[in-house]
Amino acid sequence: MGETLSLDRRGFFGTAAMTIVAAELGMLAPASAQSSSTLAAASATDGSQTFNLTPSAPKNTSFASMKQVNAGVLDIGYAEDGPPNGQPVILLHGWPFDIHAYVDVAPLLAKAGYRVIVPFQRGYGSTTFLSADTLRTAQQSVCSEDVVNLMDALKIKQAIIGGFDIGSRTAAGVGILWPDRVKALVLVSGYLIANVPANKNPAPPRLEYAFWYQWYFTTQRGVLGYTQYTNDFNKLVWSLQSPKWQFTDATFDRTAASFKNPDHVAMVIHNYRWRIGLALGDPKYDSLENKLYAAPPINQPTITIASDFDGANAAGASYRSKFTGKYSHQILNGIGHDVPQEAPQQYADAIVAVDSL
């Protein structure tokens, strides 16, 4: 066959993540303590920093407070910590994760004086739709609008927004579509805005293979399988995407409780079908989506973070031009995809650092 595929973490999921940025630009829509002296190198040419880390053992199992608020079409459940008059920070999870990805980040930022808001995204935890008639979509502009609606409900004029996985895309969408609402951004895996028309085009087989779960979700078998085996499926993804993170069953189970949301399966399936053009979005958002499809630059101060999951793309060169404001890039060797949960101190430090860029 000419080329042998490696199914180890760096060879398989590293390749997968390496293509995520290319995907969103149109080529494809693709328990020890953490060391405190982990700075390995700082590039003299591009200013990026590289850290050698060990995935962190969890210190917390719950948040300081849990709240609910009606915001737009949703009743949003969210964790809150820190002084109410502190600089607001909104932290966004992705799939298959939930707010507990930030359970150790939130108290670190609260101690530093920030007001920390960590919402369940639509389809997770206690976030539910206010009406049975609302179109169930998980397209990028809608998820970004959810964040703005939450800010309006909480009377937050402007926030620092951080994310990983789909949360990074959602945060970037807010920065592009509602730039005055974003003070700064921390984005794991860089620039993840999706270009759905371009994502309809096939990629080379090696890249397609890396997104096995995306193709699985395009089938009825995938819908039935994910519905029946939600926890088994997501636990497998955790272990594949973060093989050095020795998470416990209790850690996974805290997050898995959020998958019981009645719209969880529908939101996951719609997201992965929509991003490759196999599911329609809400036509009311066509103009916003078209703006995002053009892949406009992000102007706010931004720190991007790469991990082992990003493979050969960890250097960030492929998306550096998409950030035109003050910018810094970090590479976290030894950390998998769930960056805030595996490296909470590093993630919290990035939020503090971007605040002063």
Closest CA to 170 of 159, 179, 161, 160: 161
Rounded distance, CA 246 to CA 228, Å?
A: 25
Q: Give the pLDDT mean for 274-283.
A: 97
Whole-model pTM? 0.90
Q: What does residue 85 show for φ and ψ, rounded to 5 degrees?
A: -100, 10
- For residue 65, give the H/E element and its range: strand 65-71
Q: In Å, how far are 9, 104, 258, 287, 296 from 308, measured between CA atoms?
A: 8, 21, 26, 35, 27
Q: What does residue 332 show for φ and ψ, rounded to 5 degrees?
A: -110, 90
pLDDT in tens, 262-273: 999 999 999 999
Predicted confidence (pLDDT) at residue 244 exceeds the cutoff of 70: yes
How many residues would you count in the chain?
A: 357
Predicted confidence (pLDDT) at residue 13 exceeds the cutoff of 70: no
- For residue 90, give the H/E element and its range: strand 88-92
Quick one: pLDDT band at residue 36, thresholds 50, 70, 90? very low
Rounded distance, CA 215 to CA 222, Å?
A: 8
Quick one: pLDDT band at residue 210, thresholds 50, 70, 90? confident
**133: CB partners within 8 A, 6+ apart:** none
pLDDT score, position 82: 98
Q: What does residue 63 show for φ and ψ, rounded to 5 degrees?
A: -100, 165
Quick one: pLDDT band at residue 55, thresholds 50, 70, 90? very high
Peptide bond connecting 119 to the previous residue in cis, omega within 30 degrees of 0: no
pLDDT score, position 206: 86
Quick one: pLDDT band at residue 46, thresholds 50, 70, 90? low
Rounded distance, CA 183 to CA 88, Å?
A: 10
Residues 81 and 120: beta-carbon distance below 8 Å: no
pLDDT in tens, 134-147: 999 999 999 999 99
Sort residue 157 into left (φ over 0), alpha (ψ -120 to 50) or beta.
alpha
Q: Give the pLDDT mean for 101-123.
A: 98
pLDDT in tens, 248-259: 999 999 999 999
Rounded distance, CA 176 to CA 193, Å?
A: 10
Lowest mean pLDDT among 79-88, 172-181, 286-295, 308-317: 308-317
Predicted confidence (pLDDT) at residue 43 exceeds the cutoff of 80: no
Spans of all domains in the chain: 9-197+210-355
Q: Pairing mode, if any, of strands 74-81 and 88-92?
A: unpaired
Lowest mean pLDDT among 92-101, 118-127, 208-217: 208-217
Predicted confidence (pLDDT) at residue 45 exceeds the cutoff of 70: no
Residues 306 and 331: beta-carbon distance below 8 Å: yes
In the chain, the percentage of residues whose pLDDT exceeds 90 is 84
Residues 292 and 194: beta-carbon distance below 8 Å: yes
Which residue would you say has higher pLDDT here, 39 or 180? Answer: 180
Predicted confidence (pLDDT) at residue 54 exceeds the cutoff of 90: yes
Predicted confidence (pLDDT) at residue 353 exceeds the cutoff of 80: yes
Lowest mean pLDDT among 135-149, 193-207, 219-233, 342-356: 193-207
Predicted confidence (pLDDT) at residue 42 exceeds the cutoff of 70: no
As a three-state string, the secondary structure of 115-152 is EEEEECCCCCCCCEECCCCCCCCCCHHHHHHHHHHHHH
347, 349, 353, 354: CA torsion to nearest 10: 20
Q: Is the CATH number of domain 9-197+210-355 3.40.50.1820? A: yes
Predicted confidence (pLDDT) at residue 105 exceeds the cutoff of 90: yes
Quick one: pLDDT band at residue 75, thresholds 50, 70, 90? very high
Q: Based on the number of CB atoms within 10 Å of its own CB, is 321 exposed (0-12), middle (13-18) or buried (19 or more)?
A: exposed
Rounded distance, CA 158 to CA 232, Å?
A: 38
Which residue would you say has higher pLDDT here, 115 or 25? Answer: 115
pLDDT score, position 312: 86
Residue 315 has which token pair?
């250097």
What SS3 class is residue 81? strand
Closest CA to 89 of 170, 161, 137, 183: 161
pLDDT score, position 7: 29
